[in-house]
Amino acid sequence: MSDDIFITAERIEGADDGPLAGRTVAVKDNISTAGVRTTCGSKMLEDYVPPYDATVVERLKEAGATIVGKANMDEFGMGTTTETSHFGATDNPAAPGHVPGGSSGGSAAAVAAGEADLALGSDTGGSVRCPAAFCGVVGIKPTYGLVSRYGLVAYGNSLEQIGPFGETVADAAELLDVIAGSDDRDATTRQAPRASDGRTGDARETRETPLEAEENYADAATGDVDGLSIGVPTELLEGADEGVVETFWDAIADLEDRGAEYHQVSLPSVEHAVEAYYVIAMSEASSNLARFDGVRYGQSGGYDGNWNETFAKAREEGFGDEVKRRILLGTYALSAGYHDKYYKKAQDARAWVKQDFDEALAEADVLASPTMPVPPFELGESLDDPLQLYLADANTVPVNLADLPAISVPAGETDGLPVGLQLIGPAFGERRLIRAASALA
């Protein structure tokens, strides 16, 4: 199984002691590891060996973890199935013959297959939560700025975050404790408030149970949901697979049995979230991937006296079809005469999405939806229909647009295939999500 899970299976030993001593971790192959190949699942970087560690890798090593390999992924994080990898697809250990989700499919598969105790992925529009749901494990997408992105090969800077996978919520939270925190090398990082579970300054403060000021994320995994208010956005259930919806409501009923209550809420802006997300993400990708020209980074196309032809040849040979598609669409959206028509409107829609989430979370402690509207695809089923794959992100991309934290936990199965429950919280409300999600996993 490890042959299709890891691109590079080289071990990196950590410190002799620390909170993760004796634990093994798989690291997504777009996170820099000094002296160990980091390919981003692309032919373009097939032989690239970084000279430095990402901040999260430094923190793993300091915590005593052993990195067991660089996990397979969709090329440059662009995909929902891990089938766009130059190194081939990864099978789903929890549903053989099906995709493990993407783009962090190798990371989720490593945990599901027992190849690693924990794993790191990156989430630009659901790339931690989708694989977690499809592989029946736990995945956390942190608040934007909670985890340093230094050393993460950029796809969509304003959207992506590194996040942990684990077999249980407590496992994933333990890894989050290690990687979270501000970093001088990433100006977007912020230190999370530690005194109040993320619920400050709102009308619900009187029914909160304040946490100890120094409580770790793992300590929040108590499973106590008594009195928890869950908002269920009706828009995130529309069009979802019938079996997925049924499994979702079974999980909500389980939380109700433990003392939570739910009510329906509305997020009208999510109707436009997928379109806004892909305009923004592709635009940022077209800019970020310009450096892969065969001179600064990537395999050379061989200089023949014409720089433009050399540049084009390097990118034609180095990038796969999905990456080329997104670069072209992003370049078009940013081109003269179209910036205001597409990119600016997408940013306006993003602000609307964030406003809707803020309003919904003013009336609920967390929001809940199926992580993915469908169960795992069969291998090879959807590669010829990129639009279907884009629409499959409908429940995850709004969270990235709003810069909020979310967690996917196993909710059950439909027709023998894993289904995930997604919980969404306010900014820096990870402890609240961990407490609620640990009631199920």
Enzyme catalytic residues: 28, 103, 127
**Nearest Cα to 177, choosing from 214, 206, 202, 224?**
214
The total number of residues written for the chain in this structure: 441
Asked whether 372 and 382 are in contact (CB, 8 A), the reply is no
The Cα–Cα gap between 350 and 255 comes to: 31
Whole-angstrom distance, CA of residue 99 vs CA of residue 92: 5
Give dist(CA 187, CA 170) in Å, integer: 29
- The three state secondary structure string of the chain is CHHHHEEECCCECCCCCCCCCCCEEEEECCECECCECCCCCCHHHCCCCCCCCCHHHHHHHHCCCEEEEEECCCHHHCCCCCCCCCCCCCCCCCCCCECCCCCCHHHHHHHHCCCCCEEEEEECCCCCHHHHHHHCCEEEECCCCCECCCCECCCCCCCCEEEEEECCHHHHHHHHHHHECCECCECCCCCCCCCCCCCCCCHHHHHCCCCCCCCCCHHHCCCCCCCCEEEEEHHHCCCCCHHHHHHHHHHHHHHHHCCCEEEEECCHHHHHHHHHHHHHHHHHHHHHHHHECCCCECCCCCCCCCHHHHHHHHHHHHCCHHHHHHHHHHHHHHCCCCHHHHHHHHHHHHHHHHHHHHHHHCCCCEEEEECCCCCCCECCCCCCCHHHHHHCCCCCHHHHHCCCCEEEEEEEEECCEEEEEEEECCCCCHHHHHHHHCCCC
d(CA 253, CA 261): 9
Q: Which two tokens stand for residue 296?
A: 């600064």
Decide: 378 and 415 in contact? Cβ < 8 Å. Answer: no
Instruction: Report the distance separating Cα 134 and Cα 392, nearest Å.
Output: 12
